[in-house]
Amino acid sequence: MMNSRTVNKIWTGVFYAIALFVVLLLGFLVYEILKSGWGFWDLSFLTGESSNTEAGGGIGYQLFNSFYMLVITLIISVPLGLGAGIYLAEYAKPGKLLSFIRLCIDTMASLPSIVVGLFGLLVFVTATGWGYTIIGGALAITILNLPNLARVSEGAILDVPDSVKEASLGVGATKWQTIVKIVLPTALPQIITGIILAAGRIFGEAAALIYTAGLTTPILNTAADLSSPVNPFNIFRPAETLAVHIWKLNSEGIVPDAQAIATKAAAVLIIMVLIFNILARFVAKILQKRFEGGKMKRKKQPQTAA
C-alpha cells in the first residue's frame, strides 16, 4: 500500500519528467537541423541568388520575399484581426448570432493550410487573373491567421479590468473614446506579443504559399518601375519564400547540392522563429515594465501555439 505522500512524489516526478522531455525534444530538433545546416550564416549564402541548375546557390531573394510577405500580411491581417477582437470583446451581444460568428472563426482556425492554399489558387490566382503574386499569398495567409489574431486581441481586451472602463465612461467618455484611449493602450502589450508570435508562424508558412505566391521569383531589380514584376516591392509579382524554397529543393531540386541548401535554409528558418519568440517575450516584458509599480493582475498566459 503506497502512502499518499509517495504517490505525490511520484507524480511530481512524472510532471517534471514530461517538462524535461519537451525541452529535450525541442533541443534535439534544433540541434539536428543546425548540425546538418551548418554554415547557414555564410553571408554569400544568405544574400546570394538561388540557382536552378548549378551548385552554390544562395537564398537571398527568398529571404527577402519571406520578410516582405510578412510585412504585407501583417498590414492586412492585423487591422482585421484587431477589429474582430474589438467587436467580440466590446460589442457582441450573447445570442445565436454570436455563437454563429464564433463557429465561423473556430472553423477558419482549423482549415488545413493546403486547402486554404488551393482556395487561394482558385480565387487569388486564377479568378482574378493575377497569377502568382505576393498579395495572393498574403491574402491566403490572412485567412489562416485571422482567427488567431482575433482571439489574441479579444483576450487582451477582456483582460482589461471592467472597473477601468467604467471609470472612463463615468467621466462622460463615449464607448469609442474608452476603447481607443484606455482599453487598447492597456491591452497593447498582450496584443503585440500575439502579433509577434503570429509573425513567427507567417514567416514559416509554406503550404498556403505554394499555390498562391508561387515557386519562382524573378531576378529583382530595385531600379525598375513599381509596376514591373522585377521590382522587389511590387506586390503583384510571384515570390517564392524561404519555406517554399525548402519544399521545392526537396521535391524537385535538380541542383547537386539541393539537400545542403535545404538544410541550411531550414536552419535559417528555425533561427528566425526562435528570434521571433524571444523577441515577443522581451517586448512583453519591457511594455509591462512601463506599468511601473502596476498593481494590475496579469493572468498567467497559457502556452498556446493555437
Partner 1 sequence: MIELKEKKQEKEKVLSMNTEQSIEKQEKKLVYDTRNLNLWYGDNHALKDINLPVNENEVTAIIGPSGCGKSTYIKVLNRMIELVPSVKTTGEILYRGNNIFDKSYQVEELRKKVGMVFQKPNPFPKSIYENVAYGPKIHGVRNKAQLDEIVEKSLRGAAIWDEVKDRLHQNAYGLSGGQQQRICLARCLAVSPDVILMDEPTSALDPISTLKVEELVQELKEKFSIIIVTHNMQQAARISDKTAFFLSGEVIEFDDTDKIFSTPKDKRTEDYITGRFG
Residue corresponding to grid cell 505525490: 8
225 neighbors 199 (Cβ within 8 angstroms): no
Contact region for partner 1 (CB under 8 A) — 10-18, 30-38, 120-128, 179-187? Answer: 179-187
**CB 84 → partner 1: shortest distance, Å?**
21
Return the amino acid letter for 210: I
**Of positions 186, 190, 193, 241, contacts partner 1 by CB under 8 A:** 186
**Of positions 46, 173, 192, 279, contacts partner 1 by CB under 8 A:** 173
The four Cα atoms 196, 230, 246, 270 give a dihedral, to 10 degrees, of: -30
23 vs 167 by CB, closer to partner 1: 167
93 vs 96 by CB, closer to partner 1: 93
Chain centroid to Cα 132, Å, comes to: 21
Contact region for partner 1 (CB under 8 A) — 25-33, 178-186, 232-240, 270-278? Answer: 178-186
49 vs 90 by CB, closer to partner 1: 90
Residue in 273, 278, 257 with CA at minimum distance from that of residue 50: 257
**Of positions 27, 39, 79, 294, contacts partner 1 by CB under 8 A:** 294
Does the footprint of partner 1 cover residue 177 (CB under 8 A)?
yes
**CB 286 → partner 1: shortest distance, Å?**
15
**CB 174 → partner 1: shortest distance, Å?**
6
DSSP state string for 139-188: HHHHHHHHHHHHHHHHHHHHTS-HHHHHHHHHTT--HHHHIIIIIHHHHH
Does the footprint of partner 1 cover residue 174 (CB under 8 A)?
yes
Residue corresponding to grid cell 491581417: 77
**Of positions 127, 292, 299, 300, contacts partner 1 by CB under 8 A:** 292
Return the amino acid letter for 134: I
Characterise 54 by phi-psi region: left (phi > 0), alpha (psi -120 to 50), beta (else): beta
**Of positions 14, 167, 274, 275, contacts partner 1 by CB under 8 A:** 167
Residue window 77-116: x/- pattern of binding to partner 1, with contact defined by CB under 8 A: ----------------x-----------------------
125 vs 160 by CB, closer to partner 1: 160
Does the footprint of partner 1 cover residue 273 (CB under 8 A)?
no
306 neighbors 148 (Cβ within 8 angstroms): yes
22 vs 164 by CB, closer to partner 1: 164
Contact region for partner 1 (CB under 8 A) — 104-112, 145-153, 158-166, 260-268? Answer: 158-166
Residue in 202, 159, 198, 204 with CA at minimum distance from that of residue 279: 198
* C-alpha cell at position 248: 521545392
Q: State the Cα–Cα distance between residues 97 and 110, nearest whole angstrom.
A: 20
**Of positions 126, 166, 226, 282, contacts partner 1 by CB under 8 A:** 166
First to last CA, the chain: 42
Q: What part of residues 19-78 is at the interface with partner 1 (CB under 8 A)? A: none
DSSP state string for 249-281: HHHH--STTHHHHHHHHHHHHHHHHHHHHHHHH
Does the footprint of partner 1 cover residue 161 (CB under 8 A)?
yes
Q: What is the binding site for partner 1 (CB under 8 A)? A: 93, 161, 163-164, 166-174, 177, 181-182, 186, 291-296
